[in-house]
């Protein structure tokens, strides 16, 4: 790539004070997140209500899917960094996502239970599992690279970087807000296939937007060496074609793994067991960590090495936060579906529609934070990135305390009040705005340029573990209702209360620890804010 192609666009190629490429990424990610969260809003309810999964098995599958969907960006980021380039990776990932989300619309026949024996539509279940595999692989290629493109649109230490990521985050949440309401309403009103199908159409719109807007990326998303992609490595197949073919082979592996969500494999006889999904995640993590540590101690200066350690710390903080946050698609969904009064503003809200609350509040908060950070920075009072992270963790814990209050103070009908649920979402999303978009910005700014997509993949790998941890936490509140009986509301509230207290402790204690360590983390950032 020439120096001219890689040059940052000048200020004449901007819109509302930001590069036009930001808006290409904005709308691409908006539609991708529409499809992703539209499907996710329905997933646990679909499993437990339509396919009659138990709570525990539903959490297992959601955790396995979430773990794999956020682990794959490590591979997608690596392939883009070394060979494919971010633009090609995003397009390929988008195609896989379109196919996966449309495949989810094949619902088959509903499961039946006779004397405790559940019978499911075997063919439809295989289509379902393969569709999940397509989504997992598609996210792996698209997610780390679209975020990395945003970072490359700004010069080093550009004060607009944080606000740019905040606006990008708003795009994510526009899609998530609309998807939860639209896909949730279609799925629970007209049939699950309608909700999942709408998600697929949204992803198709996102792919079309990216293809149209590629010219505004100004060469930042191209392959590092286009000639290497054209080299023949497998007979007549070029390296690029081999990457695509290898990806399709990987789909078969993921297809098998996602079906083994409840299977345990003995690692150490009589001592340790783990699911194949967890073992696969551990393998990816070990390879990533070994490679990153080798790079840090053989290729980096002392300053670069300490900044990379901060990136790793950021990934761990993101893992903790999202282990709490991702319960909004697990325990919070079943909590709102089973033990909450759904009436508000003259509308009866479904549990899947209420998942839009998080994105809705981010949508409101993002412009405020985008306006706030540059002004705080100009006055020299902008809190450091680690301090923001600490406050985000603490607020996540406080959000669960709000739900504890609601569980302990139900209305006269024995159900919790929906407005406490709304308030908990608001507190949680203020915490997310303090931690997540700034975390993405820090990864792109602190990572050594040659491995920035790989480290972005590491960020999402941390998120993959948070999905698994969130599922395990959710199982603490699992409720199995015997055939022919109804839910015991009092018992259910007690289980959710215990889970929420435990989750609150995790967020608040971890946040305080980060506050204590903030001076050290700031020193290792070496001037990066």
Residue 224 falls within a domain, yes or no?
A: yes
Which of 22, 36, 240, 34 has its CA nearest to residue 146? 22
- How far apart (Å, rounded) are the C-alpha atoms in residues 375 and 379? 6
Which residues on neighbouring strands pair with residue 15, listed in sequence order? 18
Which of 439, 414, 419 has its CA nearest to residue 325? 439
- How far apart (Å, rounded) are the C-alpha atoms in residues 507 and 393? 5
Residue 173 falls within a domain, yes or no?
A: yes
Q: Which pLDDT belongs to residue 271?
A: 61
Q: Containing domain of residue 401, as a range? A: 21-260+275-477+487-525
Residue 8 falls within a domain, yes or no?
A: no
Cβ(423)–Cβ(400) under 8 Å?
A: no
Tokens 């009064």 belong to: 341
DSSP symbols for 432-485: HHHHHHHHHHHHHHHS-GGGHHHHHHHHHHHHHHHHHHHHHHHGGG-----TT-
- How far apart (Å, rounded) are the C-alpha atoms in residues 92 and 96? 7
Which of 389, 364, 438 has its CA nearest to residue 173? 364
Residue 482 falls within a domain, yes or no?
A: no
DSSP symbols for 45-84: HIIIIIS---HHHHHHHHHHHHHHHHHHHHHHHHHIIIII
Tokens 């950032």 belong to: 525
CATH number for the domain including 112? Answer: 1.20.1250.20
Q: Which pLDDT belongs to residue 5?
A: 43
Alpha-carbon distances, residue 517 vs 296, 390, 433, 445, 520 (angstroms): 22, 10, 21, 20, 6
Burial degree of 67 (CB within 10 A; 0-12, 13-18, 19+): buried
Burial degree of 451 (CB within 10 A; 0-12, 13-18, 19+): buried
DSSP symbols for 409-420: S--TTSSBPHHH
Output the pTM of the full model.
0.80
Domain count for the chain: 1
Which of 162, 79, 231 has its CA nearest to residue 374? 162
pLDDT, tens digit only, all 529 positions of the chain: 444 444 444 555 776 677 888 888 888 989 988 998 889 889 999 998 899 888 888 888 888 888 888 888 878 888 888 888 888 999 999 999 999 998 999 988 998 888 778 889 999 999 999 999 999 999 989 987 887 788 778 776 777 777 787 778 778 878 888 988 899 889 988 899 999 999 999 999 999 999 888 888 877 778 878 788 888 877 788 888 899 999 988 999 899 888 887 666 666 676 666 778 888 788 878 888 888 899 889 888 888 888 888 888 888 888 999 999 999 999 999 999 999 998 988 888 989 899 999 889 988 887 788 788 788 888 888 887 888 889 999 999 999 999 999 999 999 889 999 999 999 999 999 998 888 777 767 787 888 887 876 787 788 788 888 988 898 899 888 888 766 677 789 888 999 999 999 999 999 999 999 999 988 888 888 777 6
Residue 265 falls within a domain, yes or no?
A: no
Residue 138 falls within a domain, yes or no?
A: yes
**What's the gap between Cα 24 and its chain centre?**
20
The C-alpha R_g of the chain, in whole angstroms, comes to 23
- How far apart (Å, rounded) are the C-alpha atoms in residues 386 and 297? 24
Residue 266 falls within a domain, yes or no?
A: no
Which of 183, 187, 221, 196 has its CA nearest to residue 97? 196
Residues 6+ apart with CB under 8 A from 201: none
Residue 215 DSSP symbol: G
Tokens 């098995």 belong to: 57
Return the exposure string of 486-506: e unless at least 16 CB atoms fall within 10 Å of the residue's CB, then b: eeeeeebbebbbebbeebbeb
Residue 208 falls within a domain, yes or no?
A: yes
Cβ(89)–Cβ(80) under 8 Å?
A: yes
Query: What are the contacts of 409-415 at 24+ separation with CB within 8 A?
Result: 410/339, 410/489, 410/493, 411/341, 413/341, 414/489, 414/490, 415/339, 415/340, 415/341, 415/489
- How far apart (Å, rounded) are the C-alpha atoms in residues 38 and 141? 20
Beta strands (DSSP E) in 275-413 are 343-344, 347-348
């Amino acid at each position: 790539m020439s120096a001219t192609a890689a040059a940052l666009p000048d200020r004449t190629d901007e819109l509302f004070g930001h590069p036009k490429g930001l808006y290409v990424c904005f709308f691409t990610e908006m539609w991708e997140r529409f499809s992703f969260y539209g499907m996710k809003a329905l997933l646990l309810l679909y499993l437990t209500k339509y396919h009659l999964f138990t709570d525990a098995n539903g959490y297992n599958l959601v955790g396995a899917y979430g773990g794999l969907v956020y682990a794959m960006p490590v591979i997608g980021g690596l392939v883009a960094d070394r060979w494919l380039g971010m633009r090609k990776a995003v397009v390929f990932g988008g195609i896989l996502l379109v196919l996966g989300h449309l495949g989810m619309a094949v619902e088959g026949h509903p499961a039946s239970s006779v004397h405790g024996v559940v019978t499911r539509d075997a063919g439809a279940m295989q289509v379902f599992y393969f569709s999940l595999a397509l989504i997992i692989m598609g996210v792996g290629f698209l997610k780390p690279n679209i975020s990395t493109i945003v970072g490359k649109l700004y010069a080093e230490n550009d004060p607009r970087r944080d606000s740019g990521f905040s606006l990008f985050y708003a795009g994510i949440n526009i899609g998530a807000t609309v998807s939860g309401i639209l896909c949730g309403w279609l799925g629970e009103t007209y049939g699950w296939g309608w909700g999942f199908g709408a998600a697929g159409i949204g992803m198709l719109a996102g792919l079309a937007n990216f293809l149209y807007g590629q010219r505004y990326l100004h060469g930042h998303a191209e392959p590092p060496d286009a000639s290497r992609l054209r080299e023949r490595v497998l007979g007549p197949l070029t390296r690029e074609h081999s990457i695509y073919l290898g990806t399709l082979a990987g789909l078969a592996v993921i297809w098998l793994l996602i079906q083994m969500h409840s299977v345990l494999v003995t690692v150490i006889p009589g001592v340790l067991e783990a699911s194949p999904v967890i073992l696969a995640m551990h393998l990816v993590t070990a390879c990533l960590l070994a490679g990153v540590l080798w790079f840090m101690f053989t290729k980096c200066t002392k300053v670069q090495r300490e900044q990379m350690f901060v990136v790793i710390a950021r990934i761990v903080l993101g893992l903790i936060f999202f282990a709490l946050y991702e319960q909004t698609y697990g325990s919070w969904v079943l909590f709102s579906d089973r033990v909450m009064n759904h009436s508000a503003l003259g509308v009866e809200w479904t549990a899947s529609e209420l998942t839009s609350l998080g994105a809705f509040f981010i949508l409101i908060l993002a412009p405020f934070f985008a306006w706030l950070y540059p002004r705080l920075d100009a006055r020299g009072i902008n809190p450091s990135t680690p301090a923001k992270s600490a406050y985000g963790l603490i607020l996540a814990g406080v959000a669960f305390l709000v739900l504890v209050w609601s569980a302990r103070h139900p209305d006269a009908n024995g159900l919790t009040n929906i407005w406490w649920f709304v308030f908990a979402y608001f507190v949680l999303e203020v915490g997310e705005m303090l931690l997540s978009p700034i975390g993405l910005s820090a990864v792109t700014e602190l990572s050594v340029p040659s491995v920035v997509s790989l480290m972005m993949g590491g960020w999402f790998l941390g998120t993959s573990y948070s999905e698994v941890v969130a599922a395990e936490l959710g199982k603490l509140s699992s409720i199995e209702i015997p055939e022919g009986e109804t839910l015991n509301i009092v018992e259910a509230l007690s289980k959710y209360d215990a889970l929420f207290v435990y989750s609150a402790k995790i967020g608040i204690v971890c946040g305080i620890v980060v506050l204590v360590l903030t001076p050290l983390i700031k020193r290792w950032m070496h001037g990066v804010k």
